[in-house]
Amino acid sequence: MKWADIHKQYPNRFVLLGNIIEEKISEFKSKIVSGTVIEVFENGNDIRSAYRVHNKRGEDVLYSWPTTADEFIVENRHTSKC
């Protein structure tokens, strides 16, 4: 689902996304274009807990805040693993 549609469908919510499609803007920034909604929450503690569970499973997930802009820009999303 496109980020614009997710943002409209879940206003003022924390949204956990998987299957993320992003567009590289610069060396360190990407624009989130679309993804699959995994879970939706009303508070930050729940979304962070869900993120950790999915991340520990090795899933590539990302979450948005209620204040995330219509244009979802992230910095340094992928880091090198030592």
Question: Read out DSSP for 44-75?
Answer: HHHHHHHHHHHHHTT---EEE-TT--SS-EEE
Amino acid at the residue 1: M
What is the per-residue pLDDT for 81? 40
What is the end-to-end Cα distance of the chain in Å, rounded? 33
- Count of structural domains within the chain: 1
d(CA 25, CA 77): 12
- What is the tens place of the pLDDT at every residue in 3-54? 999 999 999 999 999 999 999 999 999 999 999 999 999 999 999 999 999 9
The answer as to whether 13 is a domain residue is yes
**11: in domain:** yes
d(CA 53, CA 44): 14
Within-domain flag for 80: no
> Does the residue 32 lie in any domain?
yes
Whole domain around residue 41: which residue ranges? 3-75
In a domain, 81, yes or no: no
